[in-house]
Amino acid sequence: MTSQSSKQQIIIENVFEDYNIENDRLQSTPYELVLIKNSVDDLLAHLSQTVVAIINVGIPVTAELISQLPSSVKVITKLGVGYEKIDVHMCRRQGIEICYTPDYGTNTVADHVVALLVAAQRRLLTFHNSIVQKHQWYYTAAGNLKELNAMTLGIIGCGRIGTYFADKMRPFVKQILTHNSKDLTTNTLKEIFEECDIISLHIPMSTSNYHLISYESIAQMKRCPILINVSRGGLIDTKALVQALKNGQISFAALDVVEGEPNIDEELIKLDYVLLTPHAVWYTEESKRALRT
């Protein structure tokens, strides 16, 4: 069911507590915001020739969906960095521009990755659980720990966030190896897998990157690394990760994203050496405002 309005409409999935920022900015324009549920059916129900743009959060924008959009839709904007759920090729065929928001929250994300890294490297969750669940007060509860400045950090993907993260970590680690970087020394994936004590993923999701961390790549890891993922859950084969954590091929996993989120593999949740955050790496009040403005 479409609403009757003389204004052109911008559809957005309803994910924030209010839309005062957006409505204030649109107040003196010929546009108005239309809130929908996070579902394809609700999006289709709100389509009309008055809709000129769609702000996408989580709905997969497939070729089938794009083919049903009215000709009035000229722009699809991804609220965030990754736009892998949008069929870019089909949008181009239909004359629809794709926009996204790559510059917001860079510092916020990098800070969160640093926090995950330190929490994993110092086994803070293990210490906490030992005290709270087992009522033990032992400095040995987390096993043998290594100095951070003796570790080699591998960063796969050095765009804005990866580079910022590297800058933050450079004073604290022995060395940094990077892959697929324009500005820093580039290493092969094989070198990173074989030589790094910590591996952090900062690449977009694509067909070629799907399950980059697999049984095969884990088998190349010689140093039982800490694995960090704040990019997309599909970069890691969850079954392979669970097996690697169980047999010690990977010593710890710190994950802000997982396959199938928010539904998480039950075996993964039960493991001791896993730290999870709920796709929160982007969030501070400052970064949320930057995203919305």
Sketch out the chain's domains with CATH numbers: 8-99 (3.40.50.720), 106-287 (3.40.50.720)
Alpha-carbon separation of residue 199 from 30, 109, 196, 249 (angstroms):
48, 16, 6, 13
User: Quick check: 4 pLDDT over 80?
Assistant: no
| Percentage, residues of the chain above pLDDT 70 | 97
Count CB-CB contacts under 10 A for residue 245.
21
Helix (H), strand (E) at residue 115: helix 106-121
Section 91-116 average pLDDT: 94
What confidence category does residue 182 fall into, taking pLDDT thresholds of 50, 70 and 90?
Answer: low
204: phi then psi, degrees, rounded to nearest 5:
-75, 160
Return d(Cα 166, Cα 150) in angstroms, integer: 16
Q: Tell the burial category of 89 from Cβ atoms under 10 Å away from its Cβ (0-12, 13-18, 19+).
A: exposed
User: Quick check: 140 pLDDT over 60?
Assistant: yes
Long-range contacts of 164-167 (CB under 8 A, 24+ apart): 164/106, 164/107, 164/109, 164/110, 165/109, 165/110, 165/113, 165/114, 165/200, 165/202
Q: Are 256 and 112 in contact (CB under 8 A)?
A: yes
pLDDT tens figures, 275-286 = 999 999 999 999
Alpha carbons within 13 A on the beta-carbon side of 151 = 24
pLDDT tens figures, 41-86 = 999 999 999 999 999 888 999 999 999 999 999 999 999 887 888 9
Residue 261: active-site member: yes
Q: Are 41 and 62 in contact (CB under 8 A)?
A: no
**pLDDT the model gives residue 1:** 46
Rg (CA), the chain: 22
User: Quick check: 239 pLDDT over 70?
Assistant: yes
Could you give the 3-state DSSP secondary structure of residue 90? helix
User: Quick check: 287 pLDDT over 70?
Assistant: yes
Residue 22: active-site member: no
Could you give the 3-state DSSP secondary structure of residue 156? strand
List 160, 261, 267, 292, catalytic entry:
261
**pLDDT the model gives residue 47:** 95
Task: Tell me what the pLDDT averaged over the chain comes to.
Answer: 93
The runs of H, that is alpha helices, within 144-188 are 160-169
List 25, 160, 223, 279, catalytic entry:
279
Q: Cite the beta strand spans of 139-279 per DSSP E.
A: 152-158, 175-181, 198-201, 226-229, 252-255, 274-276
Residue 194: active-site member: no
Query: Which sign does the torsion angle of CA 99, 102, 103, 105 carry?
Result: positive
List 46, 112, 179, 232, catalytic entry:
232
